[in-house]
Structure 1
Amino acid sequence: MRTSRFIPALVLGAALAVSGCVGTSDVSRDLSIDDIPVIENVAFMDWDVVAFEVDVPRTLTVSEANTIKPRADIVWREDPLGDRHEQVDILMTEALAPAFEAVQGGTPVIVTLTVTRFHAQTQRVRYSRLPSEHEVEFELLITHAETGQILSGPRAIDVTFDAYNNEEALAADARGETQRVRITQRLRDWVQAEFIGPVVPAANPELLALAR
């Protein structure tokens, strides 16, 4: 699902074409994979995310089996039974939209995230004593919003983290800290760390007074 701030339609269309959303242009066709920069720490780049897209390919497999670890790319149970690809798309888009709004700099860029794995908990494992994880993996591609030039990627990103189980999961459910809530926060924390950098703690007024 694509989300964007205002960009002239022709400019955005050209940029998305290079990023793979529309087609292929001469800019990307002339680049070999070795020519595409992979910037490991983009927090130091003066980028302004004017649009982003979450792509959940239909080739990803889905399982509804209530087993410990289904063999599938997508396992998601906190929405009613339905189109799991679309549900994952909506979840990630809604999680990332406010986070990317905060990424404002000088160079307008488009961020494309192509999901490769979204493996949350089944009911069976969530309320058992077995350890488990929320496995969220995707490829990150960053292109210039005006020229369509590839600035970074595609790069594999893995934000997998430990899930709650058994009594801990029940307590989390009771206070509203669902799998959706935790995955949303994990994605927003990733944007903060990846594009903005660590939060600098506010100065302690008492320590400042002592220093004077």
Structure 2
Amino acid sequence: MMTTRFIPALVLGAALAVSGCVGTTDVSRDIGPDTIPVIENIEIQDWDVAGVEVIVPSDLTSSEANTIKPRADIVWREDPIGDRHAQVAALMSAALEPAFEAVDGATPVIVTLNVSRFHAQTQRVRYSNIPSEQEIEFVMTIRHAETGALLSGPTDVDLTFPALGGNDAVAADAQGITQRIRINERLQAWVAEEFIGPVNTPLLVASN
């Protein structure tokens, strides 16, 4: 049975340099939710994902400022004001656990994701026409679940994708397509692409 651990307050090394949630001209970031960056040094293995750990280091900064581009590693608004580190860990784990359940091979592994940046939209940006992004960045390692041997990584993963804004965001909200839903889909599509390969089945959507 797959186990999941949230680790929102583990103090690790300095966080990666941050980049803004506002849109950029860098063509490497001009990708849609259905375009998943492939990690070149990982091949699809005969792995059975026994557990996933989402680590959100306590030294990542967070902001509640309703500005265009808060200077922080964590920006999240779709939960009540509280421990944003724990909220990000819970959100990502809820999305990833059902996706990793489908990775069912012979070698039991633990997948650890060490979050370096989780930058969603502020209210000001979401309901404006300012181009913006959902930034999801982490470092992934994969270890043998029984021996602890390192099988892959550490590997930098950047799943940043364009966010909806203005009238598009209002229309999406009316259909229940929140930032949370789109982030869930992004994470789950990445798991399918990296660990399973192309599939023609609908993406799983984690419950709140």
In the TM superposition, what whole-angstrom CA distance separates every residue of 1:80-137 from its partner, at most 9, and x where no partner exists? 0000000001000100010010000011100000000000000000000100000000
Q: Any gaps of 5 or more consecutive residues in structure 2?
A: 5-9, 11-38, 202-208
- Aligned-residue offset at 1:147: 1.0
Return the structure number with greater helix share: 1
| Aligned residue number for residue 17 of structure 2 | none
Question: Are 1:184 and 2:184 an aligned pair?
Answer: yes
Which amino acid in 2 is paired with 1:144? H
| Aligned residue number for residue 40 of structure 1 | 41
Per the normalisation by structure 2, the TM-score is 0.77
Contact 1:39 1:153 in 2 (8 A): no
In 2, the alpha carbon distance for the partners of 1:184 and 1:73 equals 19
| Aligned residue number for residue 3 of structure 2 | 4
- Aligned-residue offset at 1:146: 1.2
- 3-state SS of 2:167 partner: helix
| Aligned residue number for residue 57 of structure 1 | 57
- Aligned-residue offset at 1:42: 3.2
In 2, the alpha carbon distance for the partners of 1:52 and 1:90 equals 12
What is the Cα-based RMSD across aligned positions, in Å? 1.6
- Higher CA-based Rg: 1
- 3-state SS of 2:184 partner: helix
| Aligned residue number for residue 146 of structure 1 | 146
Contact 1:61 1:72 in 2 (8 A): yes
Per the normalisation by structure 1, the TM-score is 0.76
1:112-127 alignment, distance < 5 Å: 112-127=112-127
1:62-101 alignment, distance < 5 Å: 62-101=62-101
Q: Any gaps of 5 or more consecutive residues in structure 1?
A: 6-20, 22-37, 202-212
Contact 1:39 1:152 in 2 (8 A): no
Report the number of matched residues.
167
